[in-house]
Structures are given as C-alpha cells and as structure tokens.
Amino acid sequence: MSLQSFWSSAMALEGSVAVWRCPREDKIHFLADLSESPSKGRIDLQNTEPGFLVTPFMNPEGNETIFLNADVYGVRMSDGTWNMDHGEDVSFKYKTGHGNIRRKRSFY
C-alpha cells in the first residue's frame, strides 16, 4: 500500500489528512480524520483523543486551532511496510502482505 493510496482514499471519503516526517527520521506518518469536518477551537491536549493539531502563529486565545482526530493512523517504516492503527469507531480496509482487514467503512 502506498501513501498515495491512503491519501486518495481519505480524499474520496472527504476526510482531512496530515502527513509528516520527523527530523532525522525515515518514518512517514499518515493520519486521517474521517469526520464531516475537523474540530476547531481551544484544545486541551491532556483530555483529548489522539490526533494532530494545527494552529496559526497568531492565535493567542487558541480559538483557531484545528484538531484532526486519529481515525486512521499509520507509520511507514524504513523497510517500506506500514504499521496501522485504527480508531474504535472507524472502519478501515487495507491490503497487507497478510491479506485484507475489513471493518464497517471501506478505506483503501
């Protein structure tokens, strides 16, 4: 499975996506929020679900912070394989070397 496939699937489901690579790391991280729209506003990191935050530089009150819930999260390892994690409420389908994993909502 490629990053392009994950991206295309999230876009087809009208999801929001974050993709990043940490400094001095070969791993690529992929996160998809499959809700109708990401959360926006003040976020309490200690009491929120796993996800990804984006905020403009000028956001003193935190009201413009966007939060992407980690409905689908994967890490592409340096050997090219993907380690995937899925949210409890999200269905996901992807092809691995071990066959297909299917849940309620298709994502591949």
Q: How many helices (H) and strands (E) does the chain have?
A: 1, 9
The DSSP annotation for 59-98 comes to: -TTSTT-EEEE-SEEEEE-TTS-EEEEE-TT----EEETT
Summarize pLDDT for 66-83 with one digit per residue, the tens: 999 999 999 998 888 888
Residue ranges of domains in the chain? 3-96
Span 22-64, pLDDT tens digits: 999 999 999 999 998 888 888 887 888 889 998 888 888 878 8
